[in-house]
Amino acid sequence: MDFEAWWLIVIPIVFCLGWVASRYDFRQMLSESRHLPDSYFKGLNYLLNEDHDKAIDAFVEVAKLDTETTELHFALGSLFRRRGEIERAIRVHQSLLNRADLSEKDQEQAKFELAQDYLKAGMFDRAETAFQQTLSGQYALASTRFLIRIYEATHDWPQAIEMVKHLHALLDEPVPQSVHYHCELVDQALMAKPPNLSVAHHELLQAEQALSQLDKSKQTAANARIAMLKAKIAQLENRPDEARVHLQRVLSVSPEYAGLVANSLLDNYCQTGEGEKGIQLLREHYRQYPSLDLFNVIFKYLRTQVGASPAWDFARESLMVSPSLLGLDKLLEVELKEEANKQPQILPELDINLLHKMIHKHTQRLDKYACRYCGFQAHSFYWQCPGCNMWDTYAPKRLEEL
């Protein structure tokens, strides 16, 4: 390619223009840095030295002098909240709200951030008030969810139901936990002295209506709980036949929850002198849906009401199909109680007490229910996990069975 002489002129011109532009940007940067308050650099220095209190004071001073630092404060407040330094986070967000020149958008964000600070600190009343102030803006959905968490934590089920209705209006989709809110109100009515059966019936009807709006895939646990509550109400109203129908419904509609109703169902049959019929029903269900809780109910009844040999025949057959240390531990526990009552021992040549102690030591950690969401373990079954507050995350099976 031929060399053009005018290139010797163009190249120096381009170089000079680039040099001038860089010098201009550098001077502009220096000019802008001179306009930053000294408190800004002091705050950064304190922050680097982990002197958080002085850093906050310095940044608050910056906010008073420069209105362009709100994002810095939001970032700083969120950082403190994540680190668990709630008092510092509250101070940051309150200082923003005290500014008269703060825009409406930033005021709403500051209120929302402050509400989260209060919630993290366990100050539910203040958090509730703050979240209610942001229910109609850009944080409406998030604030509604936080309010639901607050009402769940404080067991304020009527308010939780109202918030679920608000959430339903925002999302236009059913909220599964609303069924449990009404069931909780049923439990409260039944625990009153005397039981408030009219309220229980009303809330149970509301629970069924909420259940009808859910997909069938999400109805299993709620179906079981509603049937159990219906059976409890029927029993209190001296209607054992109706109670039996509801308990049997759990076996057909939510079969994996049979262990939760096995005792009540068997007691119902025993009250009418039909214990043999009841135990036969549970044994047939156990063959299809084995569970430790159901195993314990069946074995205990056979051992105490029928005899040692039938009980151990059932245990031997069951443990061969579904080996379980927990199952062996429970049946040894029953055997020890029968031995104390002078009943004939099925294993006379074995020190059952020693065997039970050895097995029980290793099964304590397995004899628990566990949350599928957060892993929280408990000896009792919960509809709502005490650890993460999620609903229907407890499987009706012990750890060993999962």
The tokens for 155 are 């067991």
Annotated binding residue 385: yes
Annotated binding residue 374: yes
Q: What is the DSSP letter of 238?
A: T
Annotated binding residue 270: no
**CA–CA separation, 256 and 294 (whole Å):** 10
- Decide: 395 and 370 in contact? Cβ < 8 Å: yes
Between vectors from CA 389 to CA 386 and to CA 393, what angle results, nearest 5°?
Answer: 90
Tell me the CB-side half-sphere exposure of residue 374, using CA atoms within 13 A.
Answer: 12
Neighbour tally for 102: CB within 10 Å: 17
Q: Strand ranges (DSSP E) for 251-379?
A: 369-370, 377-378
Q: Minimal CA–CA distance to 269: which of 257, 281, 259, 260? A: 281
Q: Quick check: helix, strand or coil at residue 175?
A: coil
Judge residue 143's burial from the number of C-beta atoms within 10 Å of its C-beta, 0-12 exposed, 13-18 middle, 19 or more buried: buried
**CA–CA separation, 71 and 63 (whole Å):** 10
* Annotated binding-site ranges: 371, 374, 385, 388
* Annotated binding-site ranges for Fe cation: 371, 374, 385, 388
